[in-house]
Amino acid sequence: MSVRPGGSAQGSELLTDGGTGRCDGTYDIHSLHGEYRMSERTAPEEIGGDGNSTRRGGRRRRAAVLPVSGIVLLLAVPMGMGLEAQQTELGFERPRAENLQGSQPDFLFEQPAISLGLRLGLLQSRGESDIFDFFSEELTLDSENFDGFALQADLGAQITERLEGVLSVGHSRASQRSEFRDWEDESGLPIEQNTHLRTTPITLSLKGYLSPRGHSVGRFVWVPRSFAPYVGAGGGAIQYQLVQEGEFVDFEDLMIFEDRFSSAGWGGTFHVMAGGDIRLNPRLLLTGDARYRWASGDLGSDFLSFDPIDLSGLKATVGLTVRF
């Protein structure tokens, strides 16, 4: 069966049977739905004296209705396509099943009140106390040798539209191998040691956003911003541990000995910070944070003659934040 455009009835031949006065009519009809061949017999009373049909309607009219319906269908198709094109130009698009299934809402039903973040980065130590001066003068150590990787975890709670309170716990560690600059052993080998410095600040901060983190639409929808910068300040306590182990020189008798020196304790800290949140989805953020801290701590008995150790420095971290 073939489909042809158009819908006209082709050729109607009337075959009369002189003996019976009956007419045999055959019609070929091509429509949108296929190709049909109709054959019918008409009763003698339907034939006029001149051999033509005198009946209006009946089966011959039905043959004319089929091609008309095909023409209507042909006209309706381009009209429907034109309407769909106009809707596309005006910005209306028919929803598709695959779009509905794969799409995710870009909003929340309420503004988040809690945030949890985890970031990684670097700590650049200032190192301006006399213990670091001793390290740089006697050993092959400088303040930049105490730079290290930093880890930061934040728990935030919303106070107002733009203000958030943040509890932070951080950790950083630096390790460096060194030797005495001006001394060596009897075999001409360097006198070596390892130095480790670990710090863990625990702080409370106030974070103020420079613009709203999002906006409400009606009573039940909250749309987050794509980028929200912030500044803040805070303070707290910092725990540290300084360890040196290896070979050392006794400057009184110039003897070389092995030992381990350590000091651990707590000190106060204060910091300022700035950063921003980049929205990945309504609940997940990419957060960049930079903060400078001022901190120090008293040294233990192994470093009795030194002033408090300087624990200040600049820390920059990047990570993810989840809002609830």
- CATH number for the domain including 222? 2.40.160.20
Do 75 and 210 fall into the same domain?
no
Closest CA to 59 of 18, 14, 17, 27: 27
Residue 109 lies in a domain: no
Do 124 and 224 fall into the same domain?
yes
Say what the alpha-carbon torsion angle 105, 109, 113, 116 is, to the nearest 10 degrees: -20
Residue 3 lies in a domain: no
Instruction: Quickly tell me which residue has 């001149």 as its tokens.
Output: 50
pLDDT at 79: 46
Query: d(Cα 97, Cα 99) in Å, to the nearest integer?
Result: 5
Do 280 and 248 fall into the same domain?
yes
Which of 74, 99, 124 lies at the terminal end of a domain, its last residue?
A: 99
Task: Look up the domain containing 79 and give its range.
Answer: 9-99
Residue 121 lies in a domain: yes
Which of 99, 129, 150 lies at the terminal end of a domain, its last residue?
A: 99
Do 63 and 166 fall into the same domain?
no
Do 81 and 190 fall into the same domain?
no
Residue 108 lies in a domain: no
Which of 76, 99, 122 lies at the terminal end of a domain, its last residue?
A: 99
Residue 277 lies in a domain: yes
Do 162 and 304 fall into the same domain?
yes
Do 295 and 217 fall into the same domain?
yes
pLDDT at 33: 41
Do 190 and 220 fall into the same domain?
yes
Q: What's the first-to-final CA gap in the chain, in angstroms? A: 63
Residue 107 lies in a domain: no
Residue 4 lies in a domain: no
Residue 106 lies in a domain: no
**Per residue of the chain (324 residues), what is the pLDDT tens digit?**
443 444 444 443 433 444 444 444 444 444 444 444 444 444 444 444 444 444 444 444 444 444 444 443 444 444 444 544 444 444 444 444 344 344 556 656 577 789 999 999 999 999 999 999 999 999 999 989 999 999 999 999 999 989 999 999 999 999 999 999 999 998 999 999 999 999 999 999 999 999 887 757 667 666 788 899 999 999 999 999 999 999 999 988 999 999 999 999 999 999 999 999 999 988 899 999 999 999 999 999 999 889 999 999 999 999 999 988
Do 89 and 227 fall into the same domain?
no
Do 218 and 275 fall into the same domain?
yes
pLDDT at 226: 87
Do 145 and 80 fall into the same domain?
no
Do 88 and 165 fall into the same domain?
no
pLDDT at 220: 66
pTM: 0.66
Q: Which residues of 289-314 are buried (b: 16+ CB within 10 A; e: fewer)?
A: bebbbebbbebeeebeebeebbbbbe
Count of structural domains, the chain = 2
